Amino acid sequence: MRKWRISVYVVTTLLTTASCSSDSVTRPLNFFPGKQVGTVQTMLIAEASGIVASRKNPGVLWVHNDSGDAARVYAINFEGKLLGIYRIKEAHCHDWEDIAIGPGPDSQRDYLYVGDIGDNRARRSSITVYRVPEPKINPNHILVEMEIGPADSIDLVYPDGSKDAETLMVDPLNGDIYVITKRELFCRVYRIPCSQSIKKPIVMDLVASLPWGLAVGGDVSPDGKLVIIRGLFNASMWVRPKGEQLWQAFRTKHFRLELVQEPQGEGICFDAEGHGYFTIGEMLHPPIYYFAGSIVSKKRDS
């Protein structure tokens, strides 16, 4: 197993280096080295598998554990203080792997999407994405514990057999849902349009692939223009072509992103403005890292 992981790392590095010099897409942001901004202070979050920054609650990050926890999400601030525990009504936790924020049925609200998409042995006949309106949080209040929902259950089926996946994203421009598989040399990107019915299992469309494997988390910038995906050993950013579907970004050059070495690092998300990104790992009291971005000068395109 160790030899396989090392081989994938070598191939990933070669593919990343080759792809980054292949076409003329301009890198829109550079990022400063990651700085630790906090440490998760509660013992309830021991395997932070997914993370996303709230758009409506300034200074709030949503996180959840991997398999083994109840069907609940946690609100923390950037310093890692626990602000709230939110049990999701009519949701079940089989193997939660990622969380996203995006539009939903009510155009005036933001929704949390939680991906019960893990399948280590590729045996599940379907996977589920839970959708629930994002609650309002007052970061100055004492710890809140409450139930939210009931959640919409969106059952998804792969068109080409069961897969293990750890990356869930939602397009903020149109609500399309994306699932990216993990255990391939070139991870596969699947999509369902927002307008699909949720009353029966939906067969996803295979729309793209990544130039590397072992994807474990991802996010879309709030303006829908950028995509970041994290692997076990690397991370990349893509730029969405103007006026195109989100998945078409994966046909363009990707730009390598820096990571801080984290034990079992899986979580990655943009900040609420899309100006930088956070990362977090699966461990007790994990550090929270932030990578601030700066606009690339057109005279110094990389």
Residue 44: CA atoms inside 13 Å, Cβ hemisphere, count?
18
pLDDT (0 to 100) of residue 199:
75
24 contacts: CB under 8 Å, gap ≥ 6: 253
The pLDDT, as a whole number, for residue 67 is 83
Instruction: Report the top-level CATH class of 2-292.
Output: mainly beta
pLDDT of residue 2: 36
CA 183, CA 163: separation in Å to the nearest integer? 8
Measured in whole angstroms, the distance separating CA 35 from the mean position of its chain's CA atoms is 20
- Chain centroid to CA 172: how far? 13
Give the model's pLDDT for residue 14: 41
Neighbours of 75 (CB within 10 A): 22
Query: Would you write out the chain's pLDDT as a tens digit for each of its 302 residues?
Result: 333 443 444 444 444 444 443 456 889 999 999 999 999 999 999 999 999 999 999 999 999 999 889 999 999 999 999 999 999 999 999 999 999 999 999 989 999 999 999 999 999 999 999 999 999 997 777 899 999 999 999 999 999 999 999 999 999 999 999 999 999 999 999 999 986 767 789 999 999 999 999 999 999 999 999 999 999 999 999 999 999 999 999 999 999 999 999 988 999 999 999 999 999 999 999 999 999 999 876 554 43
For 113-130, give the secondary structure using H, E and C: EEEECCCCCCCCCCEEEE
Which residues are CB-contacts of 222 (< 8 A; sequence separation ≥ 6)? Answer: 55, 172, 270, 272, 273, 274
Residue 11: its pLDDT value, please? 42
Domain positions in the chain are: 2-292
Report the phi/psi class of residue 117: left, alpha or beta, with left for phi > 0 and alpha for psi in -120 to 50.
Answer: alpha
